[in-house]
Structure 1
């Protein structure tokens, strides 16, 4: 009888010991799993910003780099920022630079720029200069070019041009699909906002 009692006592002690060991092991494993840091968790919870959104873009215009000037155009990641690329015409191949214009700050344009025929588009900011512009499309005597005081046809004209000039109109600013331009001819300077239908941002052909 004593032997049976001793065996039962040993079995009970072994069972309690195993249970305690498993509990301790589980607690240790739990302690090894770190809680996520608060900043990391907040970052995971924040919505990701779409870098390709165009909601805040000011302009939707096109322009060209003067094909008669063999220039190298630096492209920056932001106004007064880091240089990310430099683009230029292929003069011999007659593959000239054109650009889509999305925004304008004091000295810079936000653009997507490429060679018209074969170039890969580069996005960034380029510094405003006299080689960035568009042509006018008032080809006939009946096509009067009005340059307006504001990007609105109801605003007062600053200049009325009844003759077609082949010179490039330098782009100074943009808003929606209007461009503010300047062009000098002889001793006369023309400046104002050019409506979309009078812009011809092509280095190759006229725009009808």
Structure 2
């Protein structure tokens, strides 16, 4: 019934390569995820294409080394040799972060996010090298961006934020995480400095003192964005959606030592309950959906099939009993409707958005499964603002779980604000 939007997981990879049109591996990755957009499928795609990007990286490195004079070769070789230990340290860093997040949330979505993050480490370096190759093929490389003659204060601030960002994450991880973060910072700074030395030569800026300062600052700013993402994943999962900074250092310390979930992962599914959320009719019968005075009772009204006015098939779900939902219609009438005829969609609108269904109506409960698209789910019941729903993948597998109110959309034809 709904007009589908492009999968959020796919949008994550649809950015054009820095050197021009989308790289063939990006196109192939999109296709891989489209064939199986499940958590397991996307994770497998990320692992597969991590290896393919590594092959492309090696090919690009050999190509550019064959195009450079000895001085350029030496500088790029130094940078690439510095990138390798940083890559290995970054993999350990990402593992420490996402293992901690997963253990404390039970959310399988973080397995996928971790796999994607690993792949992007290799992919981004491959695209950087390919960009150099394309610039050489186009003629003499030229750095077109303007930059101030001096910005030492801004560069120092960005550099300190990088140091503090690694330190913060190390403290949140605790234990070996402190050392892992320190090693990642040290290897990244070495790679950054050697890469900017190559860039200064590559763009003919060797005698320009302002250029390496600017280049380092830009790399620091990019790194800070990544660190902010990792920090938010940690604190967001440990502390919830509220502003973690406002919770204070004491609570952050407590959260960082939270133990992995070891409780009951059985789906909570009572026979009846009271709830309060919006939904809409998904009955495929052109004759319309029947609303009854009681479960299996007398028909009191038949709602139209796909009307022009969406209000006619939008309902407020107020409770359930067995396989029947108690609903309030647009005109205030109340009745019961078979649960298989009622649905809602997910607010997965932004690139990378994922919705987790949980075993209980609790944002910290273990997950049943993750959904990566603006998908439609069937409403089976609810408790308060939480909806008990069933998701059926186009390939046939399905799972039942509790849907957070923030991810619910009860409009049949458009997205929700």
User: TM-score range with shorter-chain normalisation?
Assistant: 0.5 to 0.7
Q: Would you say the 8 A contact 1:66–1:168 is kept in 2?
A: no
Give the direction of change, closer, same or farther, for the CA distance of 1:157–1:83 in structure 2 (3 Å limit).
same
1:84 is displaced (CA, Å) by: 2.1
Which protein is richer in helix relative to its size? 2
- Any idea what SS the aligned residue of 1:109 has? strand
Alignment correspondent of 2:387 = 179
- Structure 1 distance, partners of 2:284, 2:305, is 10
> How far apart are 1:107 and its partner, in Å?
1.9
**Larger CA deviation: 189-198 vs 179-188:** 179-188
Where do 1:79-90 residues align within 5 Å? 79-89=295-305
Quick check: 1:143 aligned with 2:350? no
Tell me how far 1:67 sits from its aligned partner.
7.8
State whether structure 2 residue 414 is matched by structure 1 residue 198: no
Q: Output the CA distance in 2 between the equivalents of 1:121 and 1:63.
A: 15
Counting only pairs closer than 5 Å after superposition, residues 28-177 of structure 1 correspond to structure 2 as: 58-66=274-282, 70-89=286-305, 91=307, 93-95=308-310, 96-114=312-330, 120-129=331-340, 131-161=341-371, 163-165=372-374, 167-177=375-385
- Greater displacement, 181-190 / 95-104: 181-190
CA contact (8 A) 1:67 1:97 kept: no
Using the TM superposition, give the Cα deviation of residue 158 of structure 1 relative to its aligned residue in structure 2, in angstroms.
0.6
Give TM-score, length-normalised by structure 2.
Answer: 0.32
CA distance in 2, matches of 1:157, 1:203: 26
Name the CA distance, whole Å, in 2 between partners of 1:136 and 1:193.
Answer: 12
CA root-mean-square deviation: 2.2
Cα drift, residue 122 of structure 1? 2.4
Gaps of 5+ in 2: 1-272
Distance in 2 (CA, whole Å) between partners of 1:176 and 1:98 is: 18
Distance 1:87 1:187, change over 3 A: closer
Contact 1:149–1:192 (CA under 8 A) maintained in structure 2: yes
Rounded Cα–Cα distance in structure 2 between residues aligned with 1:85 and 1:68: 17
Aligned length, in residue pairs: 143
Cα offset, 1:71, TM superposition: 4.6
Contact preservation (8 Å) 2:289, 2:305: no
2-structure distance, mates of 1:72, 1:58: 26
Measured after TM superposition, the shift of residue 126 of structure 1 is 1.2
Cα pair 2:277 2:385 within 8 Å, conserved: yes
Change (3 A) 1:187 1:90: closer
Contact 1:73 1:86 in 2 (8 A): yes
- Which one has a bigger Cα radius of gyration? 1
Report the Cα offset of residue 81 of structure 1: 2.4
Tell me if structure 2 keeps the 8 A contact 1:74–1:86: yes
Q: TM-score, normalised by structure 1?
A: 0.61
For the Cα contact (< 8 Å) 2:344–2:379, is it kept in 1?
A: yes
Cα gap change, 1:94 to 1:84, in 2 (>3 Å): closer
Q: CA 1:200–1:109 in structure 2 vs 1: closer, same or farther (change >3 Å)?
A: same
Cα–Cα, structure 1 residues 68 and 205, in superposed 2: closer, same or farther, change >3 Å? Answer: farther
